[in-house]
Structure 1
Amino acid sequence: MATILCIETATTNCSVALSINGSVIALTEDNPLNEGGKKFSHAEKLHTYIDEVLGKAEISKHQLDAIAISKGPGSYTGLRIGVSAAKGLCYALDIPLISIPTLTSLAAQVNDAVTVIPMLDARRMEVYTATFDTARKQVTDTEAKIIDETSFNDTLEKGNVTFIGDGAAKFKEVCLHPNASFVLNALPSANEMAILAEAKYKISDIEDVAYFEPYYLKDFITG
Protein backbone atom coordinates (compact mmCIF):
# COMPACT_ATOMS: atom_id res chain seq x y z
CA MET A 1 0.00 0.00 0.00
CA ALA A 2 1.44 3.34 -1.06
CA THR A 3 0.63 6.96 -0.34
CA ILE A 4 1.17 8.84 -3.60
CA LEU A 5 0.83 12.50 -4.49
CA CYS A 6 -0.42 12.85 -8.08
CA ILE A 7 0.21 16.04 -10.06
CA GLU A 8 -1.47 16.88 -13.38
CA THR A 9 -0.43 20.09 -15.16
CA ALA A 10 -0.26 19.02 -18.82
CA THR A 11 -3.22 21.19 -19.82
CA THR A 12 -5.04 24.17 -18.35
CA ASN A 13 -6.40 21.99 -15.55
CA CYS A 14 -4.13 22.38 -12.51
CA SER A 15 -4.95 19.20 -10.60
CA VAL A 16 -3.51 17.51 -7.50
CA ALA A 17 -4.70 14.32 -5.81
CA LEU A 18 -3.56 12.24 -2.87
CA SER A 19 -4.09 8.50 -3.11
CA ILE A 20 -3.67 5.57 -0.77
CA ASN A 21 -3.56 2.10 -2.29
CA GLY A 22 -4.80 3.56 -5.58
CA SER A 23 -7.86 5.27 -4.09
CA VAL A 24 -8.12 9.05 -4.11
CA ILE A 25 -8.69 10.48 -0.63
CA ALA A 26 -8.25 14.16 -1.51
CA LEU A 27 -8.47 16.11 -4.77
CA THR A 28 -8.10 19.78 -5.62
CA GLU A 29 -8.19 21.10 -9.16
CA ASP A 30 -9.00 24.13 -11.28
CA ASN A 31 -10.55 23.11 -14.59
CA PRO A 32 -11.14 26.33 -16.55
CA LEU A 33 -13.36 24.52 -19.08
CA ASN A 34 -15.99 24.47 -16.36
CA GLU A 35 -15.80 28.27 -16.33
CA GLY A 36 -16.11 28.71 -20.08
CA GLY A 37 -12.55 29.70 -20.89
CA LYS A 38 -8.91 28.68 -21.12
CA LYS A 39 -6.37 29.94 -18.65
CA PHE A 40 -3.31 28.70 -16.82
CA SER A 41 -3.10 28.90 -13.04
CA HIS A 42 -0.30 26.42 -12.42
CA ALA A 43 2.41 28.83 -11.28
CA GLU A 44 0.07 30.50 -8.81
CA LYS A 45 -1.89 27.52 -7.55
CA LEU A 46 0.10 24.26 -7.81
CA HIS A 47 1.97 24.44 -4.52
CA THR A 48 -1.14 25.75 -2.76
CA TYR A 49 -3.12 22.79 -4.09
CA ILE A 50 -0.43 20.37 -2.89
CA ASP A 51 -0.68 21.81 0.60
CA GLU A 52 -4.49 21.68 0.40
CA VAL A 53 -4.75 17.97 -0.43
CA LEU A 54 -2.20 17.06 2.23
CA GLY A 55 -4.13 19.15 4.72
CA LYS A 56 -7.46 17.57 3.78
CA ALA A 57 -6.01 14.12 4.30
CA GLU A 58 -4.04 15.12 7.42
CA ILE A 59 -0.91 13.63 5.92
CA SER A 60 2.52 15.27 5.93
CA LYS A 61 4.89 15.32 2.99
CA HIS A 62 7.20 13.01 4.91
CA GLN A 63 4.53 10.29 4.86
CA LEU A 64 4.49 10.18 1.06
CA ASP A 65 5.89 7.09 -0.65
CA ALA A 66 6.11 8.53 -4.17
CA ILE A 67 5.22 11.44 -6.43
CA ALA A 68 3.36 10.80 -9.70
CA ILE A 69 3.50 13.31 -12.52
CA SER A 70 1.60 13.55 -15.80
CA LYS A 71 4.38 13.23 -18.36
CA GLY A 72 2.68 14.65 -21.47
CA PRO A 73 2.10 15.38 -24.21
CA GLY A 74 0.73 18.77 -23.33
CA SER A 75 1.54 22.38 -22.63
CA TYR A 76 5.26 23.09 -22.54
CA THR A 77 4.83 25.57 -19.71
CA GLY A 78 2.40 23.42 -17.76
CA LEU A 79 4.55 20.31 -18.01
CA ARG A 80 7.69 22.19 -16.95
CA ILE A 81 5.97 23.59 -13.86
CA GLY A 82 4.57 20.22 -12.84
CA VAL A 83 7.74 18.25 -13.43
CA SER A 84 9.88 20.83 -11.63
CA ALA A 85 7.61 20.65 -8.58
CA ALA A 86 7.56 16.85 -8.63
CA LYS A 87 11.33 16.60 -8.94
CA GLY A 88 11.84 19.06 -6.11
CA LEU A 89 9.63 17.02 -3.81
CA CYS A 90 11.32 13.76 -4.78
CA TYR A 91 14.76 15.20 -4.07
CA ALA A 92 13.71 16.75 -0.78
CA LEU A 93 11.88 13.67 0.48
CA ASP A 94 14.13 11.05 -1.16
CA ILE A 95 11.18 9.22 -2.71
CA PRO A 96 10.64 7.87 -6.25
CA LEU A 97 9.11 9.65 -9.22
CA ILE A 98 6.42 7.92 -11.29
CA SER A 99 5.32 9.22 -14.69
CA ILE A 100 1.87 8.68 -16.19
CA PRO A 101 1.17 9.31 -19.90
CA THR A 102 -1.36 12.12 -20.10
CA LEU A 103 -3.52 10.49 -22.76
CA THR A 104 -3.71 7.28 -20.72
CA SER A 105 -5.23 9.00 -17.72
CA LEU A 106 -7.60 11.00 -19.94
CA ALA A 107 -8.83 7.82 -21.63
CA ALA A 108 -9.48 6.31 -18.19
CA GLN A 109 -12.26 8.84 -17.62
CA VAL A 110 -14.49 6.81 -19.96
CA ASN A 111 -16.06 3.88 -18.12
CA ASP A 112 -18.03 2.35 -21.00
CA ALA A 113 -16.68 -0.72 -22.78
CA VAL A 114 -15.85 1.10 -25.99
CA THR A 115 -12.77 2.13 -27.90
CA VAL A 116 -11.56 5.50 -26.59
CA ILE A 117 -9.63 8.15 -28.48
CA PRO A 118 -8.49 11.01 -26.22
CA MET A 119 -7.68 14.30 -27.93
CA LEU A 120 -5.75 17.28 -26.61
CA ASP A 121 -6.00 20.57 -28.46
CA ALA A 122 -2.84 21.31 -30.43
CA ARG A 123 -4.19 24.43 -32.18
CA ARG A 124 -5.94 24.80 -35.53
CA MET A 125 -7.15 21.35 -36.69
CA GLU A 126 -4.35 19.44 -34.97
CA VAL A 127 -4.68 17.31 -31.86
CA TYR A 128 -2.50 15.09 -29.71
CA THR A 129 -4.09 11.68 -29.76
CA ALA A 130 -3.79 7.90 -29.50
CA THR A 131 -6.25 5.02 -29.58
CA PHE A 132 -7.11 2.85 -26.57
CA ASP A 133 -9.02 -0.42 -26.74
CA THR A 134 -11.90 -1.48 -24.50
CA ALA A 135 -9.41 -2.58 -21.81
CA ARG A 136 -7.73 0.87 -22.02
CA LYS A 137 -4.58 -0.56 -23.56
CA GLN A 138 -2.94 1.90 -25.94
CA VAL A 139 -2.98 0.35 -29.41
CA THR A 140 -1.57 3.18 -31.55
CA ASP A 141 1.38 5.50 -31.09
CA THR A 142 0.86 8.93 -29.60
CA GLU A 143 0.91 11.48 -32.41
CA ALA A 144 0.16 15.05 -33.40
CA LYS A 145 -2.58 14.51 -35.96
CA ILE A 146 -4.30 16.93 -38.33
CA ILE A 147 -7.94 15.87 -38.38
CA ASP A 148 -10.59 15.99 -41.10
CA GLU A 149 -13.91 14.26 -41.81
CA THR A 150 -12.18 10.99 -42.78
CA SER A 151 -10.00 10.70 -39.66
CA PHE A 152 -10.38 7.46 -37.67
CA ASN A 153 -12.84 5.99 -40.19
CA ASP A 154 -11.14 2.58 -40.03
CA THR A 155 -11.61 2.49 -36.25
CA LEU A 156 -15.17 3.83 -36.39
CA GLU A 157 -16.21 1.17 -38.88
CA LYS A 158 -15.35 -1.50 -36.30
CA GLY A 159 -17.70 -0.22 -33.58
CA ASN A 160 -18.53 2.54 -31.15
CA VAL A 161 -15.78 5.02 -30.33
CA THR A 162 -15.77 7.72 -27.67
CA PHE A 163 -13.66 10.82 -28.32
CA ILE A 164 -12.75 12.74 -25.18
CA GLY A 165 -10.83 15.90 -24.37
CA ASP A 166 -10.63 19.55 -25.32
CA GLY A 167 -9.53 18.55 -28.82
CA ALA A 168 -12.61 16.39 -29.41
CA ALA A 169 -14.77 19.45 -30.11
CA LYS A 170 -12.78 20.04 -33.30
CA PHE A 171 -13.46 16.55 -34.55
CA LYS A 172 -17.14 16.70 -33.64
CA GLU A 173 -17.51 19.62 -36.06
CA VAL A 174 -16.41 17.48 -39.02
CA CYS A 175 -17.20 13.90 -38.00
CA LEU A 176 -20.49 12.50 -39.34
CA HIS A 177 -20.00 8.83 -38.46
CA PRO A 178 -22.86 7.33 -36.40
CA ASN A 179 -20.46 5.27 -34.24
CA ALA A 180 -18.78 8.37 -32.81
CA SER A 181 -19.71 9.87 -29.45
CA PHE A 182 -18.04 12.78 -27.70
CA VAL A 183 -17.09 13.91 -24.19
CA LEU A 184 -16.11 17.52 -24.71
CA ASN A 185 -15.73 19.27 -21.36
CA ALA A 186 -12.98 16.97 -20.12
CA LEU A 187 -9.32 17.53 -19.36
CA PRO A 188 -6.74 15.19 -17.81
CA SER A 189 -7.10 15.06 -14.02
CA ALA A 190 -4.95 13.78 -11.18
CA ASN A 191 -7.99 11.75 -10.12
CA GLU A 192 -7.42 9.10 -12.82
CA MET A 193 -3.66 9.03 -12.22
CA ALA A 194 -4.04 7.36 -8.82
CA ILE A 195 -4.74 3.77 -9.82
CA LEU A 196 -2.20 3.97 -12.66
CA ALA A 197 0.48 5.29 -10.32
CA GLU A 198 -0.24 2.60 -7.73
CA ALA A 199 0.22 -0.12 -10.37
CA LYS A 200 3.57 1.33 -11.40
CA TYR A 201 4.68 1.72 -7.78
CA LYS A 202 4.02 -1.95 -7.08
CA ILE A 203 6.42 -3.05 -9.81
CA SER A 204 8.97 -0.27 -9.16
CA ASP A 205 8.35 1.30 -12.58
CA ILE A 206 9.93 4.62 -11.65
CA GLU A 207 11.89 7.39 -13.34
CA ASP A 208 15.44 8.63 -12.86
CA VAL A 209 14.70 11.92 -11.10
CA ALA A 210 17.89 13.54 -12.33
CA TYR A 211 17.31 12.84 -16.02
CA PHE A 212 13.53 12.66 -16.42
CA GLU A 213 12.05 15.12 -18.90
CA PRO A 214 8.42 15.61 -19.94
CA TYR A 215 7.17 14.16 -23.22
CA TYR A 216 6.46 17.32 -25.19
CA LEU A 217 5.97 15.80 -28.67
CA LYS A 218 5.79 19.45 -29.75
CA ASP A 219 5.06 22.79 -28.10
CA PHE A 220 1.35 23.33 -28.64
CA ILE A 221 0.53 25.77 -25.84
CA THR A 222 3.00 28.35 -24.57
CA GLY A 223 0.83 30.12 -22.00
Structure 2
Amino acid sequence: MSALPTLPHDAWSAWHPQELANRLAAVVRPWCVVGGWALDLWHGEETRPHEDLEFTILRGDFALFRAALSGLRLHAVGDGHVEPLGVGEAPPADKAQVWCEDVAAACWRVDMMLEGGTPETWVYKRDPAIRRPRGEVVHVTEGGIPYLAPEAILLFKAKYRRDKDEADFSRALPKLDAAQRRWLGACIARAHPGHAWLEAL
Protein backbone atom coordinates (compact mmCIF):
# COMPACT_ATOMS: atom_id res chain seq x y z
CA MET A 1 0.00 0.00 0.00
CA SER A 2 1.08 3.59 -0.50
CA ALA A 3 2.43 5.75 2.31
CA LEU A 4 0.07 8.68 1.78
CA PRO A 5 -1.05 10.35 5.02
CA THR A 6 -4.61 9.71 6.14
CA LEU A 7 -7.23 11.97 7.63
CA PRO A 8 -8.25 11.73 11.29
CA HIS A 9 -10.68 8.84 11.65
CA ASP A 10 -13.44 11.18 12.79
CA ALA A 11 -13.14 13.62 9.87
CA TRP A 12 -16.54 12.68 8.45
CA SER A 13 -18.77 14.93 6.39
CA ALA A 14 -20.84 12.23 4.75
CA TRP A 15 -22.94 12.63 1.66
CA HIS A 16 -26.70 12.21 1.75
CA PRO A 17 -27.69 8.88 0.13
CA GLN A 18 -29.19 10.76 -2.82
CA GLU A 19 -25.78 12.23 -3.61
CA LEU A 20 -24.30 8.73 -3.67
CA ALA A 21 -27.12 7.47 -5.88
CA ASN A 22 -26.57 10.34 -8.30
CA ARG A 23 -22.87 9.51 -8.58
CA LEU A 24 -23.58 5.81 -9.12
CA ALA A 25 -26.49 6.32 -11.52
CA ALA A 26 -24.62 4.79 -14.47
CA VAL A 27 -23.50 1.68 -12.55
CA VAL A 28 -25.58 -1.39 -13.37
CA ARG A 29 -24.05 -3.79 -10.83
CA PRO A 30 -25.68 -4.39 -7.42
CA TRP A 31 -25.18 -1.94 -4.58
CA CYS A 32 -27.29 -0.65 -1.71
CA VAL A 33 -27.18 1.68 1.28
CA VAL A 34 -26.75 -0.10 4.62
CA GLY A 35 -26.44 0.95 8.28
CA GLY A 36 -28.64 3.52 9.95
CA TRP A 37 -29.31 5.39 6.73
CA ALA A 38 -30.92 2.28 5.23
CA LEU A 39 -33.46 2.27 8.06
CA ASP A 40 -34.23 5.94 7.50
CA LEU A 41 -34.72 5.39 3.76
CA TRP A 42 -37.24 2.73 4.75
CA HIS A 43 -38.89 5.07 7.26
CA GLY A 44 -39.05 7.77 4.61
CA GLU A 45 -37.45 10.39 6.84
CA GLU A 46 -34.23 11.12 8.69
CA THR A 47 -35.03 10.00 12.22
CA ARG A 48 -31.63 10.78 13.75
CA PRO A 49 -28.26 12.31 12.77
CA HIS A 50 -25.89 10.04 10.87
CA GLU A 51 -22.13 10.30 11.32
CA ASP A 52 -21.36 8.43 8.12
CA LEU A 53 -22.92 6.84 5.04
CA GLU A 54 -22.36 3.14 4.32
CA PHE A 55 -23.10 1.19 1.19
CA THR A 56 -22.26 -2.33 0.08
CA ILE A 57 -21.07 -3.83 -3.20
CA LEU A 58 -19.89 -7.23 -4.41
CA ARG A 59 -16.13 -7.52 -3.88
CA GLY A 60 -15.60 -8.46 -7.49
CA ASP A 61 -17.12 -5.14 -8.60
CA PHE A 62 -14.65 -2.99 -6.65
CA ALA A 63 -12.83 -1.64 -9.71
CA LEU A 64 -16.10 -0.61 -11.32
CA PHE A 65 -17.24 1.37 -8.28
CA ARG A 66 -13.80 2.84 -7.81
CA ALA A 67 -14.04 4.21 -11.34
CA ALA A 68 -17.50 5.65 -10.63
CA LEU A 69 -16.08 7.43 -7.57
CA SER A 70 -12.88 8.46 -9.35
CA GLY A 71 -12.74 11.85 -7.63
CA LEU A 72 -12.14 10.21 -4.25
CA ARG A 73 -9.04 8.67 -2.67
CA LEU A 74 -9.79 5.21 -1.28
CA HIS A 75 -8.45 3.60 1.90
CA ALA A 76 -8.71 0.01 3.13
CA VAL A 77 -10.01 -0.19 6.70
CA GLY A 78 -9.76 -2.96 9.28
CA ASP A 79 -8.76 -3.58 12.89
CA GLY A 80 -8.62 0.14 13.59
CA HIS A 81 -6.19 0.84 10.74
CA VAL A 82 -6.89 3.06 7.71
CA GLU A 83 -4.42 2.50 4.85
CA PRO A 84 -4.45 4.41 1.55
CA LEU A 85 -4.80 2.27 -1.56
CA GLY A 86 -2.45 2.92 -4.45
CA VAL A 87 -3.66 3.60 -7.98
CA GLY A 88 -5.26 0.42 -9.26
CA GLU A 89 -4.67 -1.36 -5.95
CA ALA A 90 -7.48 -3.53 -4.62
CA PRO A 91 -8.15 -3.97 -0.90
CA PRO A 92 -6.45 -7.02 0.65
CA ALA A 93 -8.58 -10.14 0.85
CA ASP A 94 -8.86 -9.77 4.63
CA LYS A 95 -10.30 -6.24 4.41
CA ALA A 96 -13.96 -5.68 3.61
CA GLN A 97 -14.31 -1.95 4.24
CA VAL A 98 -13.10 1.03 2.19
CA TRP A 99 -13.36 4.66 3.29
CA CYS A 100 -13.62 7.23 0.50
CA GLU A 101 -11.79 10.52 1.04
CA ASP A 102 -12.68 13.82 -0.59
CA VAL A 103 -9.14 15.19 -0.79
CA ALA A 104 -10.13 18.76 -1.65
CA ALA A 105 -12.62 18.97 1.24
CA ALA A 106 -10.34 17.03 3.63
CA CYS A 107 -13.10 14.70 4.83
CA TRP A 108 -14.53 11.23 4.46
CA ARG A 109 -17.64 11.08 2.26
CA VAL A 110 -18.77 7.44 2.18
CA ASP A 111 -17.90 4.00 3.54
CA MET A 112 -17.87 1.20 0.93
CA MET A 113 -18.42 -2.34 2.24
CA LEU A 114 -17.26 -5.36 0.19
CA GLU A 115 -19.55 -8.36 0.42
CA GLY A 116 -19.75 -11.92 -0.86
CA GLY A 117 -22.81 -13.39 -2.52
CA THR A 118 -23.84 -12.94 -6.12
CA PRO A 119 -25.98 -10.50 -8.12
CA GLU A 120 -28.88 -12.85 -7.42
CA THR A 121 -28.20 -13.80 -3.79
CA TRP A 122 -27.49 -11.71 -0.69
CA VAL A 123 -25.33 -13.49 1.91
CA TYR A 124 -24.98 -12.43 5.56
CA LYS A 125 -21.26 -11.93 6.01
CA ARG A 126 -21.15 -13.24 9.58
CA ASP A 127 -22.90 -16.51 8.71
CA PRO A 128 -23.02 -17.51 5.02
CA ALA A 129 -25.81 -19.99 5.80
CA ILE A 130 -28.10 -16.96 6.16
CA ARG A 131 -28.96 -15.83 2.65
CA ARG A 132 -31.89 -14.50 0.64
CA PRO A 133 -32.70 -13.57 -2.94
CA ARG A 134 -31.23 -10.11 -3.50
CA GLY A 135 -34.50 -8.96 -5.04
CA GLU A 136 -36.24 -9.67 -1.71
CA VAL A 137 -33.73 -8.07 0.61
CA VAL A 138 -32.87 -4.92 -1.37
CA HIS A 139 -35.60 -2.27 -1.65
CA VAL A 140 -35.55 0.94 -3.69
CA THR A 141 -36.93 4.34 -2.70
CA GLU A 142 -39.14 6.38 -4.99
CA GLY A 143 -36.06 8.48 -5.68
CA GLY A 144 -34.16 5.44 -6.93
CA ILE A 145 -31.91 4.77 -3.92
CA PRO A 146 -31.40 1.04 -3.21
CA TYR A 147 -31.18 0.06 0.45
CA LEU A 148 -30.94 -3.13 2.48
CA ALA A 149 -34.21 -4.26 4.06
CA PRO A 150 -34.77 -3.25 7.70
CA GLU A 151 -34.80 -6.79 9.05
CA ALA A 152 -31.33 -7.40 7.57
CA ILE A 153 -30.00 -4.10 8.94
CA LEU A 154 -31.31 -4.99 12.40
CA LEU A 155 -29.62 -8.39 12.20
CA PHE A 156 -26.29 -6.59 11.83
CA LYS A 157 -27.15 -4.19 14.63
CA ALA A 158 -28.12 -6.99 17.01
CA LYS A 159 -24.44 -7.83 17.54
CA TYR A 160 -23.48 -4.46 19.01
CA ARG A 161 -26.56 -3.12 20.83
CA ARG A 162 -25.12 0.39 21.05
CA ASP A 163 -27.53 3.11 22.17
CA LYS A 164 -28.26 4.02 18.54
CA ASP A 165 -28.88 0.35 17.69
CA GLU A 166 -31.37 -0.01 20.53
CA ALA A 167 -33.11 3.18 19.41
CA ASP A 168 -33.17 1.99 15.80
CA PHE A 169 -34.69 -1.35 16.85
CA SER A 170 -37.36 0.29 19.02
CA ARG A 171 -38.28 2.68 16.22
CA ALA A 172 -38.44 -0.03 13.56
CA LEU A 173 -40.20 -2.79 15.53
CA PRO A 174 -43.78 -1.46 15.23
CA LYS A 175 -43.40 -1.15 11.45
CA LEU A 176 -42.04 -4.65 10.80
CA ASP A 177 -44.62 -7.01 9.34
CA ALA A 178 -45.07 -10.60 10.50
CA ALA A 179 -42.75 -12.07 7.86
CA GLN A 180 -40.00 -9.60 8.68
CA ARG A 181 -40.31 -10.35 12.39
CA ARG A 182 -40.19 -14.11 11.82
CA TRP A 183 -37.10 -13.89 9.63
CA LEU A 184 -35.27 -11.50 11.98
CA GLY A 185 -36.20 -13.58 15.03
CA ALA A 186 -34.97 -16.81 13.42
CA CYS A 187 -31.69 -15.22 12.33
CA ILE A 188 -31.00 -13.59 15.70
CA ALA A 189 -31.79 -16.87 17.47
CA ARG A 190 -29.21 -18.56 15.26
CA ALA A 191 -26.55 -15.84 15.49
CA HIS A 192 -27.14 -14.60 19.06
CA PRO A 193 -29.02 -17.19 21.16
CA GLY A 194 -30.78 -15.64 24.13
CA HIS A 195 -30.64 -12.12 22.67
CA ALA A 196 -32.89 -9.61 24.46
CA TRP A 197 -34.63 -8.60 21.21
CA LEU A 198 -36.08 -12.08 20.72
CA GLU A 199 -38.80 -11.56 23.32
CA ALA A 200 -39.93 -8.36 21.62
CA LEU A 201 -40.07 -10.11 18.24
Task: Output the TM-score relative to the length of structure 2.
Answer: 0.29
Task: Output the TM-score relative to the length of structure 1.
Answer: 0.27
